[in-house]
Amino acid sequence: MSSRVVIDPVSRIEGHLRLEIEVDEPSHKVTNAVSAGTMWRGIELIVKNRDPREVWAFTQRICGVCTTIHALASVRNIEDALDIEIPKNANYIRNIMLGTLYAHDHLVHFYHLHALDWVSPLEAIKADPVATAALQNQILQTYGGIISLYTDFLGGNAYPRKFPKATPGYFKTFQDKIKNLVQSGQLGIFAANWWDHPDYKMLPPEVHLIAISHYLNMLDVQRELVIPHVVFGGKNPHPHYIVGGMNCSISMNDMNAPINMERLAVVEDAVYTQAEAANLFYLIDLLAIGQIYVQKGWTYGGGLSKDRVLGYGDYPDEPYKSIKNGDYFEKILYHSNGVVENFAQGVDKAKYYPITNEDLTNPDIIQEWVTHSWYQYPNNNEGLHPWNGITDPYYTGPKEGTKTHWKYLNENGKYSWIKSPRWRNLPAEVGPLARYMIVYTAVKQGHIKPSWMDEMVVNQIDFVSKLLNLPPHVWMPTTVGRTAARALECQLGANASNYFLKKLYDNIKAGDTSVANMEKWEPSTWPSQAKGVGISEAPRGALGHWCIIKDGKIENYQAVVPTTWNGSPRDEKGQQAAFERSMQDTIVLIAKEPLEILRSIHSFDPCLACSTHVYNTQKEEVVSFKIGGACYE
């Protein structure tokens, strides 16, 4: 018999997400899974008619968790429209900020939003602190080889400041804290979870104690990782950018300068903290937990990643002239710009398609559908490119319950505030796992000349495959694989911070201190009409912003974001996106305590404010120009 279980709210995510699953009791299989975004804010509508130079600040507020990424996509978008090439230093600084975001966002996701799906404070209480200390040493030994995959381009770090403490006293302190918390009866953030779930018995108590200790330890360390944002952008969350480069002028002659030697030293220190947190804590803990889960046969949750993943690529090594004309793709170091199909059949059998500017500008390739979203099109059975999008809200309520009190949503009708983006009419998973599959396939099949970042990705994947004694196509398209790819990418991002800081030093040494190209700052220098595309690899996956500028104002602005790809409802063909596919690929032991579902969904690091900000309630055509032909230029 099958019962329908609702999880709402899904906690430890950004924003508001509702899940409904039907579990077949004898087989523990999920026979039906429904994922619904339950909020929207309409930021693209709000930026209409505003000055393109200030739009980054509005779109940055799409998300405060992956803070900075929508600002980056936005300044890239406006610069693309206005043909602005930013100075080298600005490119390096933006990449340091992006690397910083990967390091910080991924680490916080693992420890503070995801770890409690794998480990429990109540199990940690049972651990022996002496055995825990010994285990900490042992796992550093066993998995420490991963550290050598990080390349120190700067070479300025005498010894790691943050090193896991492997003493019984350290672990006993944390254990006592947790014990007292439990005894006080005020469990706070740990309250009311399904701690009696048998999955929490999968790991020995000592692993729980290590992870819970590091949960608390990293809660205080994480703030140090984002210091480069505070130096270059003045604060975090929501550091500042400008169209044309960066605001943080460089001068080695003035202590009042936004960037001088002292400021760079502060950044460098944080860059090493990123490396230490990724290398010595996050990766080691991840591998220790992940290996046991995989060994116990928990290789579920792959879902759509087995069939199709998508990415745009990022980290331009040097400034590029344009995204829409393709130069961006010539400059990037992280070649996740592609689509890979059938990775689960083996990397040699996987099908690889590169993604370039054509994929972003051709109206037939990336489209959004609303068949199952609370919107309507004149023709509900067609998809529209972001440049031709129409948004006409059409809230229909649930299947059971009332308009304002839902029991069950109606997956046969409309059921989400998220639209359904599709690539060539097909759903695709995005995110760190997608990027890792794409780079791995592109390199192994010889489609690209690998950069140092691509090589690092391949080496990381080969390291884990050897450790698990499983080929990538077996361990990667799983919930554990998705979580592992994010950890590996944390190391990659931290390494990018290091690499680009070295490039920044070298360029300043060569006499270049420019951070902003102000040639086209004044709107009088702009064409009367322009269009742009701004893309980035956000922590959660491929991110695209599209704009049209008319007479110095935003005529139209659209964003298609990672959680829209992953969390979207079904399309007109009934094709499900990554969240739903992953849930249907997950075994649920106890239907009323679907811990495995939370684990799989959390492995995507959902960001609902991102996915559901995009809609316009005014029943008007959001975009009103034609691609190609005689449009406006």
Judged by CB under 8 A, the residue of 437, 547, 598, 622 near another protein is 598
Nearer to another protein, 50 or 331 (CB): 50
Q: Does 589 bind another protein (CB under 8 A)?
A: no
- Please identify, using beta-carbon distances, which residue of 174 and 423 lies nearer to another protein: 174
Nearest to 157 by CA among 143, 167, 147, 169: 147
Closest contact distance (angstroms) between CB of 208 and another protein is 13
265 binds another protein (CB under 8 A): no
**109: three-class secondary structure by DSSP:** helix
Alpha carbon distance 633, 630 (integer Å): 8
Asked if residue 9 has a cis previous peptide bond (ω within 30° of 0), the answer is yes
Residue 301 vs 311, nearer CB to another protein: 301
Instruction: Kindly tell me which residue out of 99, 129, 164, 233 binds another protein, with binding defined by CB under 8 A.
Output: 233
Told to check if 413 binds another protein by CB under 8 A, we report: no
**Interaction of residue 604 with another protein, rule CB under 8 A:** no
Return the SS3 of 512: coil
Is residue 7 within the footprint of another protein (CB under 8 A)?
yes
In the complex with another protein, which residue's Cβ is closer, 255 or 510?
A: 255
Count CA atoms closer than 13 A to 472's CA, side-chain side. 25
Tokens for 49, please give them: 């008619």
The residues that bridge with 421 in the sheet, in sequence order, are: 368
Q: Are 543 and 270 spatial neighbours (Cβ–Cβ below 8 Å)?
A: no
Q: Could you say whether residue 202 binds another protein (CB under 8 A)?
A: no
| Least gap, CB of 24 to another protein (angstroms) | 20
Residue ranges in 277-363 assigned as alpha helix (H) = 283-295, 327-331, 357-361
Is 322 an interacting residue with respect to another protein (CB under 8 A)? Answer: no
Q: For residues 95 and 497, give the distance between their C-alpha atoms in angstroms, rounded to a whole number.
A: 7
Stretch that binds another protein, among 34-42, 137-145, 283-291, 481-489 (CB under 8 A): 34-42
Considering only residues 327 through 386, tell me which ones interact with another protein, judged by CB under 8 A.
Answer: none
Least CB distance to another protein at residue 513 (A): 7
Which CB atom, from 238 or from 331, has the smaller least distance to another protein? 238
Instruction: Choose the binding region for another protein from 26-34, 242-250, 489-497, 560-568 (rule: CB under 8 A).
Output: 242-250
Please give the Cα distance from 549 to 547 (Å, whole number): 6
Residue 574 CA, chain-centre distance (Å), reads 26
Applying CB under 8 A, among 2, 28, 46, 590 the residue interacting with another protein is: 46
Tell me if 445 contacts another protein by CB under 8 A.
Answer: no
Minimum distance from residue 9 beta carbon to another protein (Å):
5
Q: In terms of CB distance, is 150 or 406 closer to another protein?
A: 406
* Helix 452-468 with 432-444: angle, nearest 10 deg: 100
Find the shortest distance in angstroms from Cβ 234 to another protein: 3
Q: Is 325 in the site for another protein (CB under 8 A)?
A: no
Q: How far is the CB of 534 from another protein (least distance, A)?
A: 19
Tokens for 162? 């943050």
Q: Which of 26, 158, 159, 188 binds another protein (CB under 8 A)?
A: 188
Of 143-151, 362-370, 400-408, 489-497: span binding another protein (CB under 8 A): 400-408
Applying the rule CB under 8 A, the residues between 148 and 187 that interact with another protein are: 173, 176-177, 180-181, 184, 186
Q: Does 228 bind another protein (CB under 8 A)?
A: no
- Residue of the chain from 23, 30, 34, 65 that contacts another protein (CB under 8 A): 65
Specify the residue, 251 or 469, whose C-beta has the smaller distance to another protein: 251
Residue type, 197: H
CB closer to another protein, 283 vs 409: 409
Nearest-angstrom CA–CA distance, 400 and 392: 24
Stretch that binds another protein, among 24-32, 216-224, 352-360, 498-506 (CB under 8 A): 216-224
Please work out the total of residues on this chain that contact another protein, with binding judged by CB under 8 A: 105
> Which residues share a beta bridge with 300?
none
Task: Identify the CA nearest to 271 among candidates 501, 538, 616.
Answer: 501
Whether omega before 237 lies within 30 degrees of 0, making that bond cis, reads: yes
- Residue 35 three-state SS: strand
Among 155, 297, 403, 629, binds another protein (CB under 8 A): 403
3 state SS of 215: helix
Q: Which is nearer to another protein, 263 or 444 (CB)?
A: 263
State in angstroms the smallest separation of the CB of 613 from another protein: 8
Site for another protein in 86-115 (CB under 8 A): 108, 112-113
Q: Which two three-digit tokens encode residue 337? A: 């710009």
Q: Which of 23, 97, 203, 250 touches another protein by CB under 8 A?
A: 250
Least spacing, CB of residue 178 vs another protein, in Å: 9
Beta-strand relationship, 29-37 and 308-311: unpaired
Is 34 a binder of another protein (CB under 8 A)? no
CB closer to another protein out of 157 and 513: 513
DSSP 3-state assignment of 33? Answer: strand
Q: What is the C-alpha separation between 436 and 451, in angstroms, rounded?
A: 14
- Residues 483-502 touching another protein, rule: CB under 8 A, are none
Site for another protein contains 301 (CB under 8 A): no
Shorter beta-carbon distance to another protein: residue 9 or 346: 9
Window 517-576: residues binding another protein (CB under 8 A)? 518, 521
Q: Is residue 179 packed enough to be buried (19+ CB in 10 Å), middle (13-18) or exposed (0-12)? A: middle
Please tell me whether residue 237 binds another protein under the rule CB under 8 A.
yes
Closest to 476 (Cα-Cα) out of 439, 508, 443, 434: 434
Rule CB under 8 A: is residue 214 a binding residue for another protein? Answer: no
**8-state DSSP, 155:** -
- Beta carbons of 104 and 565 less than 8 angstroms apart: no
198 near another protein (CB under 8 A): no
CA angle, corner 631, sides to 628 and 633, nearest 5? 100
Spatial CA neighbour of 195 closest among 293, 301, 121: 121
Exposure on the CB side of residue 568, measured as CA atoms within 13 A: 32
Instruction: In angstroms, give the least distance from the CB of 597 to another protein.
Output: 9
- Closest approach of another protein to the CB of residue 269, in Å: 11
**Contact yes or no for 195/120 (Cβ under 8 A):** yes
What lies within 8 Å, CB to CB, of 8 at 6+ separation is 17, 18, 19, 38
Using CB under 8 A as the binding rule, whether residue 470 contacts another protein is answered as: no
